[in-house]
Structure 1
């Protein structure tokens, strides 16, 4: 899910990650998930790391999928979540087997974002929703974040909301920009 340099970074910072990161925006995630055209019973939190975003959600059966074994260990141990080591570009789930997917503050770490979108579309049931909560590289704080991540050796690739929405459309998802700002949310519903 993350470029190799990013996985190593997250493995190293896993014990401190939740101390440094604010809670996920549960309201923004709920607003994105509200676009689903089916009941959400099974949700994947892709790039979910320590389960920070999953902790902001209630209701569905949630599986955290991440490439960082140390972050997944925290999701399991600290939050009691189901976790699976995996690559967003090759999700280990059957076609049309999940109702929703979230990617929170992690999409910019995915080495093959288009493959991740295609895999998500494949795994979603028709009417299921992908909700991406990300940072806008056109926002002043987003530019600063991008520079900071490059400075520490991350392979991050940020996308603006309209660019992400267009990529979702290309992957077979009907995109909706839910909110804008430094942190933004785009939902894509599988056609």
Structure 2
């Protein structure tokens, strides 16, 4: 990601984190609905998606885990409490890191949890320094996603667990919907949005062993509409930050994009590539 785009996204999240936290109850990602007919609260749905990711992350007590794009730290703190692992969370947003660090001080956890600003494409950690890595709905913000995946592959130990949840496309976008997808991506800072197969190719090309691909698009699709409703409800807080016109556009495009059959959301589970002697 060029420095200008990196700084733009960092500033965006510095600005919107507080109203987003208020609207989405602490988890800065989509939610998981068991069925389209269900109507969980945003807190329930986003916690459930966190659970879907953590259930796939293989850890043991005392492990060192990295959360790439940690938001305000809610998944990292949950992981530390439930698994008794040490967690380091990174984000490019200083505002998010400040909130996450304050939460870590306020919530008793049995292990070490820390947060710091860092770029996913240039992780400030030695090779093979983590037993597991997760990234929850973050890498679409990265201009060079393949590079970020190579960094994840570098810092996870051979055989260490890696789980990534993110937006993707389930099929090629027809020409009549291309403008809608491009406008949605621009309005919501989806810098890298590709088909699932390309995401998987970058995952394995980075040096990670693929274990499982889970398409959870139909479980996440209703959450897109729910988040659009939450943005409307938070208009008094979000409007002054992003601009009333931009907020209306984000809501409209989110609702329309969620209706496309190409809308996708995927969870990739893998592990650090083992050497021949491992």
TM-score category, normalised to shorter length: 0.7 to 0.9
Q: Which moved more, 1:13-22 or 1:99-108?
A: 13-22
Tell me, yes or no, if structure 1 residue 10 matches structure 2 residue 21.
Answer: no
Which residue among 94, 97, 101 is the counterpart of 1:72? 97
User: 1:99: which partner in 2?
Assistant: 131
Q: Quote how far apart the aligned CAs of 1:186 are.
A: 0.2
Which residue among 44, 48, 54 is the counterpart of 1:30? 54
Cα shift readout 1:61-105 (whole Å, capped 9, x = no counterpart):
111111110011111113445111111111111111101111111
User: 1:52: which partner in 2?
Assistant: 74
Q: Aligned in 2, Cα 1:97/1:83: closer, same or farther, shift over 3 Å? A: same
Q: Quote how far apart the aligned CAs of 1:161 are.
A: 2.9
Secondary structure at the aligned position of 1:136 is classed as strand
Which residue among 156, 161, 166 is the counterpart of 2:196? 161
TM score, norm. by length of structure 1: 0.84
5+ long unaligned stretches in structure 1: none
> Over alpha carbons, which structure has the higher Rg?
2
CA distance in 2, matches of 1:133, 1:17: 19
Secondary structure at the aligned position of 2:146 is classed as helix
Structure richer in strand, relative to its length: 1
Moved over 4 A (4+): 143-146
Root-mean-square deviation (CA, aligned residues, Å) is: 2.6
Tell me, yes or no, if structure 1 residue 62 matches structure 2 residue 62.
Answer: no
- How many residue pairs match? The answer is 186
Q: Aligned in 2, Cα 1:122/1:49: closer, same or farther, shift over 3 Å? A: same
5+ long unaligned stretches in structure 2: 25-41, 106-112, 218-264, 274-278
TM score, norm. by length of structure 2: 0.59
Structure richer in helix, relative to its length: 2
Secondary structure at the aligned position of 2:52 is classed as helix
Q: Quote how far apart the aligned CAs of 1:137 are.
A: 2.8
CA distance in 1, matches of 2:62, 2:182: 33
